[in-house]
Structure 1
């Protein structure tokens, strides 16, 4: 795969971790407790609600790993393909890389997912309960 594909994957994962964090914080815990006996996803999520500090820490670790990968890949992409021979000043190149990377990750990886996941937090938690549990096992 090329660098753009890895960048897209890192943006999607960052959006996932950020969105799940706000969904977890905004969720109605009472609904999960009431539906715990009928839905398997509610049982999975109730495990997370019993250990909120561990769960939030795991989401933050996952997001930080993804952000480091994103930063490295974005710097390579901008330096090699976008501004490679155009800008010779190293300081200016790093400044442009930082501004572009920051704007993209804040928009796609933070603001949009948090806004979308906050609208229906319980639905989002149920939809992504199993991928979330896999990430929890890997990162915790």
Structure 2
């Protein structure tokens, strides 16, 4: 048994290719891996693609109450979370900030900034 087998890691934004690759690498290295996404079917498929032993969870990370509930679930299930890898985000919109629409900015604010803020606030300790 290695020390890694006792470490629990949460991957946010785990549905995409980066999330799958990181989950797979961490699991193969011996970590206990929990991966979260906002779409239950997509995150389940991503966890399966990452390989056995990756636990899929669903949460809207832009919702502070849902992130708090996620933490509670993880504490009940795993006892603790030792690390968070935040992969939520992306780019939508224009070629640059000067021609970006307000709708595109709102999307980015919600999906990149708000999710990071909520996850950091809730999992900080």
Q: Of Structure 1 and Structure 2, which has the larger fraction of its residues in strand? A: 2
Give your verdict on TM over 0.5: no
Higher RCO, Cα 8 Å, sep 6+: 1
Asked which structure has the greater CA Rg, the reply is: 1
Answer 1 or 2: which has greater helix percent. Answer: 1
TM-score (norm 1): 0.24
Using structure 2 for the length normalisation, give the TM-score.
0.26
